[in-house]
A and B are shown apart, each in its own frame.
Chain A
């Protein structure tokens, strides 16, 4: 199947700093990618849709100024968590694909 990568896999940062997470489709082009967040022992919640060449669309309750999404090419979407706080600590997962979604390996963010 198709491969989606994420970087970094883990990041620990201090409160107030910004963190950038990359999501890449390695063997296919993706005009759309999706970002999900998963808190411990919970399900995945869709945060936003990343659209190549245009603005991302955010789900209700997700702050677009806090979670900046850039989809600069057909194989790369980035999620920047700005001014991170401990409550932003979570597992962030991206996905891409047609007919079936392929999920990246996830990024575990810990904000101290």
Chain B
């Protein structure tokens, strides 16, 4: 059974601080996705990581992928309130085309 585990599930951090969200998955996957979801909204694509060692950065967010360790990280640098949201990682469901299996999500709250 394909499992995708995120931690932490809840994160409260002060503005200006740095933190990392971790995503572990149980089966081989060469691709990993990060999405953001605001309350009551759908998913916004943040990153698609396509190979081992891939690193992508957008603003204060940086994502990396280690396929050997089956681990991806989403690093937040100098957090600001606008980053408050729920962040999901996901991997491809094997032999399904492009269906995704999601982690439980990390609910991030950035406080002043």
Contacts and interface: CB of A to CB of B under 8 A. Distances in A.
Contact of B33 (A32, A49, A100): A100
Contact of B42 (A45, A93, A97): A93
Interface in A85-99: 93, 95, 97-99
A104 to B, nearest CB: 6
A54 interface: no
Contacts of B40: 108
Nearest to B31: A99
A8 interface: no
Contact of A43 (B42, B99, B104): B104
Contacts of A103: 35, 42-43, 45
A56 B101 CA distance: 18
B41 A105 contact: yes
Nearest to A108: B40
Interface of B: 33, 35, 40-43, 45, 48, 88, 93, 96-105
A65 B43 CA distance: 28
Nearest to A45: B102
Contacts of A99: 48, 98
Given A1-B45, A44-B88, A46-B101, 13 more contacts: A42-B104, A45-B102, A46-B99, A46-B100, A49-B97, A95-B100, A99-B98, A100-B33, A100-B45, A101-B45, A103-B35, A103-B42, A106-B41
A97 to B, nearest CB: 7
A46 B93 contact: yes
Nearest to A48: B99
